[in-house]
C-alpha cells in the first residue's frame, strides 16, 4: 500500500503547531494535492529551498532567497516569479519570519497556490517537511504479529495463531521491554534498507492475551512500556516443535534465515516452542546476540576458531 498524495490543508493541520505555520491569506488553495514523487523518474523533488532548475513541489523561501530576489532587476525577478508559479509548485512557504514579498503574494492568489509563513529557520522547515512526507508516502505493509522493542532492538514476534506471541509479549513487557503494536503492526519502507514499524491508532496501547482478554499496557505498566515506533531489525518466528524436530536444528548457528519485506531483507530466527522452554529469556538472548552480530561479534565463529586452535595445538 502506498499513499499517492495529500492535501496542503492536511499538511498544515498536522504540522502547524510544531512549525508555527500561518496562512498568508484565507487558506487559499488548501485543497491542492501534494503529489507523491517516484524517485526513479521524477523531474521534481518533494521539498527544498527555492530551486527552479530542479523545482520542488514545496518551495521554501527564507532570508537568503528573498535577498536574492531583491538583487534582481525587474525583468529577471518577474521571470523568476513566473517560473515559481508555472504549475510545478504545490505550496510556497516563507520562513525565517520574513515578510511575504508583494509580488509573491499577488501571484499566489492569482494562481491559487497555497502560501504559508513560519518564523522557524528554513533548514528546520525543510527537514521536518521532508521527514513528514517521506514517511507519509512510504510504501507500507501490515503484518500479523507483535512488534516489540527489546534491548532497543525492533523485534517482531510471528507465528501461527495461539502459538503464544501475546503471552511472550506480555512477559517481555513485565521484564521492562516495550510494546509497539499487537496483532497488526504497520511497516513503512522509509529508506532503501529500513522498515519503520508503528501501531495503527485504533490498536495503540492494547494487547490481547487469550484467557484474559484485551489489556491496556499503558494503564497497567505506565508510559514507559509503550514505544511509538521502531525500525524492524529482527523477526522471531515461534514454531511448536517436538524433540525430534528440535534435533534437526543447527546447534552452532541456530535456525537463521532472512525474510524479504518490501524489498528489505530482515534476519529471521525460528524459535522452537516446547514445554519447559523460557521463551522470554530466549527472546532476550536472541536480541542481545543479534546486536552483537550487528557490531561484528559472531559468537559461533569465535567458538569455531577457538576449537580449531585447540585441535591444532593438541595434534601430535
Residues 29, 113: Cα–Cα separation, whole Å = 6
Q: Which residues pair with 155 in a beta bridge?
A: 148, 234
Active site residue 251: yes
Q: For the stretch 293-306, what's the b/e string if a residue is b when 16 or more beta carbons lie within 10 angstroms of its beta carbon?
A: beeeeeeeeeeeee
Active site residue 250: no
Q: In this structure, how many other beta carbons lie within 10 angstroms of the beta carbon of residue 287?
A: 24
Residues 149, 139: Cα–Cα separation, whole Å = 22
Locate 91 and state its grid cell: 505550496
Helix ranges, 20-140 (H): 63-71, 74-84, 102-111, 122-137
Q: Which of 57, 120, 140, 165 is catalytic?
A: 165
Query: Would you say 7 is a known binding-site residue?
Result: no
Locate 298 and state its grid cell: 559472531
194-198/213-216 β-pairing: unpaired
Please report which helix (H) or strand (E) contains residue 18, including its range. Answer: helix 8-19
Query: Would you say 166 is a known binding-site residue?
Result: yes
Locate 129 and state its grid cell: 517537511
Q: Which of 18, 144, 253, 309 is catalytic?
A: 144
Pick left, alpha or beta for residue 227 (phi over 0 → left; psi -120 to 50 → alpha; otherwise beta).
beta
> Are 231 and 180 a contacting pair, CB within 8 Å?
no
C-alpha 296 chain-centroid distance: 25
Q: Which of 132, 113, 146 is nearest to 18 (CA)?
A: 132
Residues 155, 163: Cα–Cα separation, whole Å = 17
Please report which helix (H) or strand (E) contains residue 168, including its range. Answer: helix 165-174
Three-state secondary structure call for residue 177: coil
Q: In this structure, how many other beta carbons lie within 10 angstroms of the beta carbon of residue 68?
A: 13
Active site residue 183: yes
Active site residue 18: no
Q: Binding site, residues?
A: 166, 208
Q: Binding site for Mg(2+), residues?
A: 166, 208
Catalytic residue set: 144, 165, 183, 251
Amino acid at each position: 500500500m502506498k499513499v499517492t498524495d495529500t492535501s496542503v490543508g492536511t499538511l498544515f493541520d498536522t504540522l502547524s503547531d510544531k512549525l508555527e505555520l500561518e496562512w498568508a491569506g484565507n487558506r487559499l488553495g488548501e485543497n491542492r494535492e501534494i503529489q507523491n514523487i517516484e524517485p526513479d523518474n521524477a523531474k521534481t523533488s518533494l521539498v527544498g529551498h527555492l530551486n527552479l532548475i530542479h523545482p520542488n513541489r514545496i518551495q521554501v523561501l527564507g532570508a537568503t532567497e528573498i535577498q536574492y530576489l531583491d538583487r534582481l532587476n525587474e525583468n529577471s525577478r518577474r521571470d523568476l516569479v513566473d517560473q515559481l508559479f508555472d504549475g510545478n509548485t504545490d505550496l510556497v512557504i516563507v520562513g525565517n519570519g520574513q515578510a511575504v514579498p508583494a509580488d509573491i503574494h499577488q501571484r499566489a492568489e492569482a494562481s491559487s497556490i497555497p502560501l504559508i509563513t513560519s518564523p522557524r529557520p528554513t533548514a528546520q522547515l525543510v527537514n521536518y517537511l521532508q521527514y513528514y512526507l517521506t514517511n507519509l508516502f512510504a510504501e507500507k505493509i501490515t503484518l500479523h504479529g507483535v512488534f516489540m522493542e527489546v534491548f532497543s532492538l525492533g523485534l517482531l514476534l510471528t507465528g501461527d495463531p495461539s502459538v503464544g506471541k501475546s503471552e511472550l509479549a506480555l512477559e517481555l513487557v513485565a521484564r521492562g521491554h516495550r510494546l509497539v503494536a499487537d496483532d497488526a503492526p504497520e511497516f513503512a519502507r522509509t529508506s532503501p534498507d529500513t522498515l519503520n514499524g508503528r501501531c495503527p491508532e485504533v490498536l495503540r496501547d492494547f494487547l490481547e492475551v487469550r484467557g484474559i482478554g484485551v489489556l491496556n499496557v499503558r494503564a497497567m505498566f505506565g508510559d514507559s512500556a509503550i514505544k511509538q515506533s521502531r525500525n524492524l531489525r529482527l523477526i522471531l518466528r515461534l514454531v511448536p516443535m517436538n524433540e525430534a524436530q528440535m534435533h534437526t536444528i543447527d546447534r552452532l548457528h541456530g535456525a537463521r534465515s532472512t525474510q524479504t519485506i518490501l524489498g528489505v531483507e530482515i534476519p529471521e530466527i525460528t524459535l522452537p516452542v516446547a514445554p519447559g522452554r523460557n521463551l522470554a529469556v530466549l527472546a532476550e538472548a536472541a536480541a542481545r546476540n543479534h546486536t552483537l552480530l550487528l557490531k561484528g561479534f559472531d559468537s559461533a565463529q569465535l567458538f569455531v576458531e577457538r576449537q580449531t586452535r585447540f585441535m591444532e595445538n593438541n595434534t601430535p
